[in-house]
Amino acid sequence: MKILHTADWHLGKKLEQFSRLPEQVEVMQEIVDIANNEKVDAVIIAGDLFDNFNPSNEAVELFYKTLKQLTNNGERLVVAIAGNHDSPERIEAPDPLARVNGIILTGYPHTEVSLFELESGIKVLKSDKGFIEVRLPNVDFPLRLLLTPYVNEYRLKTFLDTTNKEEKLREVLSHHWEENANKYCDDKGVNLLMTHLFMVKQGEELPEEPDDEKPILNVGGAQVVYTNNIPKQIQYTALGHLHRPHQMDDNPCPAVYSGSPISYSFSEANQQKYVSIVELFPGKKASQKKIELVKGKKLQKEI
């Protein structure tokens, strides 16, 4: 199974008064072309789909047009989750229409995706709060996805019905992920975690969040989630939020920020952008490669 991992599209974002939409149109087509050339079985988009809760009509049109192209006429699964820039209600609103094209949109960590099947062979076999198991065309084993869109600590505890209000976000998530992984993720399929959070390797220095990015850390770092919170069954963790491509850890699995598709602030000047292509087999370590994105203007700092 081959999966394309991307994130942090920020469609509609401007650089001061300058629109980036023409560049975004080009890089979205580039991502579609890579998905087709690599013959990927699924595309996962790990949040910050738009740059704000009320994106422009042009940004919304580009988003849905790109998703439709990525599905390859319903032959390829596309899964997108909300980030901290996105309205979860807006992301989920078109879900019934999206599903008929093989697109799954989730805005909340407790969302239960409706079961459906397409003529292409895409079929949601199981669904639970923050979990789906999907059969894909031309693949002999299922894809399991733990889905955790961005949500703040208070809302997360509310959605997941935790009784211990003193638990930190990482503890709530760890319990939630482990429960779903133990229930659904064996070695007869491939198992992925997809989330839009600030995840780091415990004990290492925290990376800086991008300039102009809405920070998701709070005082004391209670919203930092550690890679050792990832269940042992997970073979790849697809992360969104940090704009610099970066692998946070390799244990228990690769935990990877794919990064944004173009540079959105001067802190990203001269930064090469990528999408990640992940190849997975049941019970085996994921292999991955990065494919450079060449569209979009480079940003340069004045000396």
Delimit the domains of the chain by residue range: 2-293
**Average pLDDT of the chain?**
87
19-23, 56-60, 80-84, 160-164: the lowest-pLDDT one: 160-164
Tokens of 23: 């560049």
Residue 220: pLDDT over 50: no
Residue 217: pLDDT over 60: no
Residue 193: pLDDT over 90: yes
Tell me the C-alpha distance between 149 and 106, whole Å: 7
Bridging pattern class, strands 255-257 and 246-249: antiparallel
19-68 per-position pLDDT tens digit:
889 999 999 999 999 999 999 999 999 999 999 999 999 999 999 999 99
Residues recorded for the chain: 303
φ, ψ of residue 288 to 5 degrees: the values are -145, 155
55-59, 68-72, 266-270, 275-279: the lowest-pLDDT one: 266-270
Tell me the C-alpha distance between 238 and 139, whole Å: 20
Mean pLDDT of the 180-187 span? 96
Report how far Cα 113 is from the mean position of its chain's Cα atoms. 16
Q: Name the more confident of 72 and 209.
A: 72
Tokens of 207: 């990376």
pLDDT of residue 181: 97
Q: Name the more confident of 279 and 152.
A: 279
Residue 216: pLDDT over 90: no
- Tell whether domain 2-293 is in CATH 3.60.21.10: yes
Smallest Cα–Cα separation from 113: which of 178, 123, 41?
Answer: 123
**Could you check whether the bond before residue 207 is cis, i.e. omega within 30 degrees of 0?**
no
pLDDT of residue 70: 97
Tell me the C-alpha distance between 42 and 24, whole Å: 21
Alpha helices in the chain (DSSP H): 21-37, 57-70, 88-92, 95-99, 153-159, 169-184
62-71, 126-135, 237-246: the lowest-pLDDT one: 237-246
Smallest Cα–Cα separation from 148: which of 182, 115, 190, 111?
Answer: 111
Residue 287: pLDDT over 70: yes
Q: Cα 45–244–129 angle (5° rounding)?
A: 30
Tokens of 279: 């190849």
**pTM score of the predicted model:** 0.90
pLDDT of residue 214: 53
Contact predicate 49/91, CB 8 Å: yes
pLDDT of residue 296: 72
pLDDT of residue 94: 83
